[in-house]
Structure 1
Amino acid sequence: MKSYQRGWTLRRRVLALLGVVLVLLLGLAAAEAAIAAKNRQNIDAVLLRTGPLRVQAQELMSALLDQETAVRGYAVNADRKDLAPYADGLKREQGTVSEMRKLAADYPAVLRELAVVEQRADGWRTEVAQPVISATERGGPTAGQALITDQTRQRFDGIRAAVDKLQDEILAVRQQTAGKVNATSNLLVALLIIAALVVAVAGVVTLVSLDRILIRPLAGLVGQVREVVAGDYRHHIEGDGPPEFRRLADDIDAMRQKIARELDEVREARERIEWVNSQLQKQAEELTRSNRDLEQFAYVASHDLQEPLRKVASFCQLLQRRYSGQLDERADQYISFAVDGAQRMQRLINDLLAFSRIGRLTTGFTEVDLNKVMGDVAAQTDAARQYADAELTWENLPVIRGEEPLLTNLLANLVSNSIKFRRPDVPPRVHVSARLVEDEWEITCQDNGIGIEPEFADKIFVIFQRLHSKDAYPGTGIGLAIVKKIVEYHGGRVWVDTDAGEGTAIRFTLPALPGEPAATVDGEDGTLAATTGGMKETVG
Structure 2
Amino acid sequence: MIAGVREWSLRQRVVALLAVVGVLLVGLAVTEASLAERSRNQVDALLNKTSPLRVQSQELLNALLDQETSVRGFAVSGDRADLGPYDAGVRQEQDIVSSMRRLLADYPQIEGELRQVETRADQWRQSVAEPVITTTEQRGTAAGQALVTESARQQFDGVRVAVDDLQAEILNARESNAREVRRTGNLLAVLLIVAALVVVVAGALLLLSLDQTVVRPLTGLADQVREVAEGDFAHVISGTGPPEFVQLAEDVDAMRRRIAADLAEVREARERIEWVNTQLQKQAEELTRSNRDLEQFAYVASHDLQEPLRKVASFCQLLQRRYAGQLDERADQYIAFAVDGAQRMQRLINDLLAFSRIGRLTTGFTEVDLNKVMGDVAGQTEAARQYADAELTWSELPVIRGEEPLLTNLLANLVSNSIKFRRLDVPAKVHVSARLVGEEWEITCRDNGIGIEPEFADKIFVIFQRLHPKDAYPGTGIGLAIVKKIVEYHGGRVWVDTDVAEGTAIRFTLPALPEDLPATGEGPDETAATVADADAEAGTTAGGANSAPEQPAGAERTEQAPAGDRTGGMRETVG
Q: How would you bin the TM-score normalised by the shorter chain? A: 0.5 to 0.7
For residues 6-26 of structure 1, the C-alpha deviation after alignment (integer angstroms, 9 at most, x for no partner) is xxxx999648xx9xxxxxxxx
Report how far residue 263 of structure 1 moved.
3.8
Report how far residue 252 of structure 1 moved.
1.7
Contact kept in structure 1, 2:492 and 2:511, CA below 8 Å: yes
1:318 is the counterpart of 2:307: no
Partner of residue 248, structure 1 = 248
Report how far residue 216 of structure 1 moved.
8.5
In 1, the alpha carbon distance for the partners of 2:517 and 2:560 equals 28
Report how far residue 414 of structure 1 moved.
0.2
3-state SS, counterpart of residue 459 of structure 1: coil
Amino acid of the residue matched to residue 560 of structure 2? V
Distance change in 2, residues 1:377/1:523 (3 Å): closer
Partner of residue 164, structure 1 = none
In 2, the alpha carbon distance for the partners of 1:498 and 1:466 equals 18
Distance change in 2, residues 1:393/1:262 (3 Å): farther
How does the TM-score come out when normalised to structure 1?
0.56
1:490 is the counterpart of 2:508: no
Partner of residue 383, structure 2 = 383
Distance change in 2, residues 1:339/1:12 (3 Å): farther
Alignment of 1:252-263 (within 5 A): 252-263=252-263
Partner of residue 499, structure 1 = 499
Amino acid of the residue matched to residue 254 of structure 1? A
1:443 is the counterpart of 2:443: yes
Report how far residue 304 of structure 1 moved.
0.9
Partner of residue 205, structure 2 = none
In 2, the alpha carbon distance for the partners of 1:222 and 1:516 equals 54
Partner of residue 299, structure 1 = 299
Residue ranges of structure 2 left out of the alignment (5+ in a row) = 13-208, 519-527, 537-551, 562-575
For residues 29-66 of structure 1, the C-alpha deviation after alignment (integer angstroms, 9 at most, x for no partner) is xxxxxxxxxxxxxxxxxxxxxxxxxxxxxxxxxxxxxx
Match of 1:522 among 498, 514, 531: 531
Report how far residue 411 of structure 1 moved.
0.4
For residues 468-500 of structure 1, the C-alpha deviation after alignment (integer angstroms, 9 at most, x for no partner) is 222222211111111111112222221111212
1:279 is the counterpart of 2:279: yes
Report how far residue 506 of structure 1 moved.
0.8
3-state SS, counterpart of residue 506 of structure 1: strand
In 1, the alpha carbon distance for the partners of 2:416 and 2:533 equals 29
Partner of residue 76, structure 1 = none
Report how far residue 464 of structure 1 moved.
1.5
In 2, the alpha carbon distance for the partners of 1:232 and 1:532 equals 72
Report how far residue 517 of structure 1 moved.
7.5
How does the TM-score come out when normalised to structure 2?
0.52
Contact kept in structure 1, 2:439 and 2:517, CA below 8 Å: no
Residue ranges of structure 1 left out of the alignment (5+ in a row) = 1-9, 19-206
Amino acid of the residue matched to residue 538 of structure 1? E
In 1, the alpha carbon distance for the partners of 2:517 and 2:217 equals 69
Match of 1:537 among 550, 558, 564: 558
For residues 441-481 of structure 1, the C-alpha deviation after alignment (integer angstroms, 9 at most, x for no partner) is 21110011122222222221121122222222221111111
1:349 is the counterpart of 2:349: yes
In 1, the alpha carbon distance for the partners of 2:483 and 2:365 equals 17
Amino acid of the residue matched to residue 559 of structure 2? T
Partner of residue 511, structure 1 = 511
In 2, the alpha carbon distance for the partners of 1:11 and 1:423 equals 101
Partner of residue 458, structure 1 = 458
Amino acid of the residue matched to residue 283 of structure 1? Q
Contact kept in structure 1, 2:397 and 2:530, CA below 8 Å: no
Aligned length: 339
3-state SS, counterpart of residue 349 of structure 2: helix
In 2, the alpha carbon distance for the partners of 1:499 and 1:234 equals 71
Amino acid of the residue matched to residue 507 of structure 1? R
Partner of residue 425, structure 1 = 425
In 2, the alpha carbon distance for the partners of 1:490 and 1:459 equals 21
3-state SS, counterpart of residue 318 of structure 2: helix
Contact kept in structure 2, 1:397 and 1:532, CA below 8 Å: no
Distance change in 2, residues 1:367/1:539 (3 Å): farther
Return 291-300 or 475-484, whichever deviates more. Answer: 291-300
In 1, the alpha carbon distance for the partners of 2:297 and 2:365 equals 27
In 1, the alpha carbon distance for the partners of 2:360 and 2:500 equals 34
Partner of residue 55, structure 1 = none
Report how far residue 437 of structure 1 moved.
2.2
3-state SS, counterpart of residue 259 of structure 1: helix
Alignment of 1:211-230 (within 5 A): 221-230=221-230
Partner of residue 233, structure 1 = 233
Amino acid of the residue matched to residue 345 of structure 1? M
Distance change in 2, residues 1:470/1:266 (3 Å): farther
In 1, the alpha carbon distance for the partners of 2:490 and 2:529 equals 25
For residues 316-354 of structure 1, the C-alpha deviation after alignment (integer angstroms, 9 at most, x for no partner) is 222233334444444333323222221111111100111
Q: State percent identity of aligned pairs.
A: 80
3-state SS, counterpart of residue 435 of structure 1: strand
Return 283-292 or 217-226, whichever deviates more. Answer: 217-226
Return 234-243 or 498-507, whichever deviates more. Answer: 234-243
Partner of residue 289, structure 1 = 289
Partner of residue 117, structure 2 = none
Report how far residue 214 of structure 1 moved.
9.0
Amino acid of the residue matched to residue 434 of structure 1? A
In 1, the alpha carbon distance for the partners of 2:308 and 2:271 equals 55
Report how far residue 370 of structure 1 moved.
1.5
Alignment of 1:130-209 (within 5 A): none
Report how far residue 393 of structure 1 moved.
0.7
Partner of residue 71, structure 1 = none
Partner of residue 366, structure 1 = 366
Contact kept in structure 2, 1:397 and 1:534, CA below 8 Å: no
Partner of residue 6, structure 1 = none
3-state SS, counterpart of residue 516 of structure 2: coil
In 2, the alpha carbon distance for the partners of 1:521 and 1:436 equals 8
Report how far residue 283 of structure 1 moved.
2.5
3-state SS, counterpart of residue 460 of structure 2: helix
Report how far residue 221 of structure 1 moved.
4.0
Report how far residue 311 of structure 1 moved.
0.7
In 2, the alpha carbon distance for the partners of 1:500 and 1:446 equals 9
